[in-house]
Amino acid sequence: MQEVKQVVVQEAMPIGTTVGEFIIRQQADFPHATGELSSLLSSIELAAKIVNREINRAGLSHHILGSMGQTNVQGEEQQKLDWYANEQFKLALAARGEVCGLASEEEEEFVAFDPLQGRHSKYVVLIDPLDGSSNIDVNVSVGTLFSIYRRLTPVNTPVQQQDFLQTGRAQVAAGYIIYGSSTMLVYSTGRGVNGFTLDPSIGSFCLSHPQMQIPPQGRIYSINEGNYLKFPAGVKQYLKFCQAIDAHEGRPYTARYIGSLVADVHRNLLKGGIYLYPSGSNAPQGKLRLLYECNPLALLIEQAGGLATDGVTPILDLQPQALHQRTPFYAGSREMVLQLQQLLAQYGH
């Protein structure tokens, strides 16, 4: 199984280093950039702060809560905050000129930024602006997911769909923002994973979790067991394995499922565990989006020492065929994912 090689940053950054300082001091992480990627990441940071402000005020600003009264391209009811977050990230990414196009879970087609206007834009961004937005009404953590790629087509030409349909291995950077009891930005440029917590007193994301590593073995499994009857046989066998008593291996494991993808994966990244979203009779290809959700999380998980797979193939090796392609998704602690894969191979996936 091919995996992303981990590279530990040699220079230790002190806790509290702002993300801006961190990016500047780690320019060596960006072999293809002369500042553009740093500026791009700063755009994402800015939009995240604006979205965070609205999320924190949501209980007082009822105009931003609830449904738009329409569905998005995914066939899901679009929340007002989904639309708001999507617009903020589009505006922030278009403003500085480093991005030639964006693909979003909330957009039916990709969005081209100012084609042929003389800007030497090298990058495209794929984004889930607000994952789990239906949980905001009940004050549960939600998040933003993003992937950054170098475009394949020549600069100063219109961006094309092929620029977005790249494998996860081609990601230049990826990450998420989790809006919870604290707001965190977690990202990787292929040289480890670092987490930054928003300090509201100064309005900056500050290094709080350097060189994050997921424990190789965890005791948490995260899955919506309400869909048990629709799960593949191999997944059912794995759940039986998780629930079986084995004092030597520390089983039964603990079930923890928030229902907000970023929050579930974030917890397991810190504490160890496995996240499972299999295919089912209502979602024969899986429900999670490969480009907007699975690829960025898979990069982070592999960079932190874990594994991410569709049950057969590493997520990062899947060749996307469509912008809104879906896939089964299993990610987390290395030993737990390997055990799952054995059962999927034996009983079916």
Distance in angstroms (rounded) separating the CA atoms of residues 203 and 209 = 18
Is residue 56 annotated as involved in ligand binding? no
Residue 105 counted as an annotated binding residue: yes
Give Cα 58 distance to the centre of its chain: 23
What are the backbone angles phi and psi of residue 234, rounded to the nearest 5°? -65, -35
Question: Is 347 known to sit in a ligand binding site?
Answer: no
Check the annotation: does 128 bind a ligand.
Answer: yes
Q: Is residue 340 part of an annotated ligand binding site?
A: no
Give burial (CB, 10 Å; 0-12/13-18/19+) of 165.
buried
Query: For residues 239 and 257, is the Cβ–Cβ distance under 8 A?
Result: no
131 is in an annotated binding site: yes
Q: Is 282 annotated as a binding-site member?
A: no
Is 224 annotated in some ligand binding site?
A: yes
Which helix (H) or strand (E) segment is 99 a member of? strand 99-104
For residue 141, the one-letter residue type is S
Side-chain half-sphere exposure of 222, counting CA atoms within 13 A: 25
Q: Is 29 annotated as a binding residue?
A: no
Q: Is 257 annotated as a binding residue?
A: yes
Q: Is 299 annotated as a binding-site member? A: no
> Does residue 277 have a known ligand-binding role?
yes
Q: Where are the alpha helices (DSSP H) in the chain?
A: 19-25, 36-56, 80-96, 233-243, 261-271, 295-303, 334-347
53-81: b or e for each residue (b if 16 or more CB lie within 10 Å)?
ebbeebeeeeebeeeeeeebeeeeebbbb
> Helix or strand or coil: residue 131?
strand
Contact 304, 193 (CB under 8 A): yes
Do 302 and 324 touch, CB atoms closer than 8 A? no
DSSP state, residue 341: H
Output the CA torsion 285→236→292→189 (10° steps).
Answer: -130
Q: Which residues are annotated as a binding site?
A: 105, 128, 130-134, 224, 257, 275-277, 287, 293
Binding-site annotation: residue ranges for Mg(2+): 105, 128, 130-131, 293
Please enumerate, by residue number, every residue annotated as part of a binding site for substrate. Answer: 131-134, 224, 257, 275-277, 287
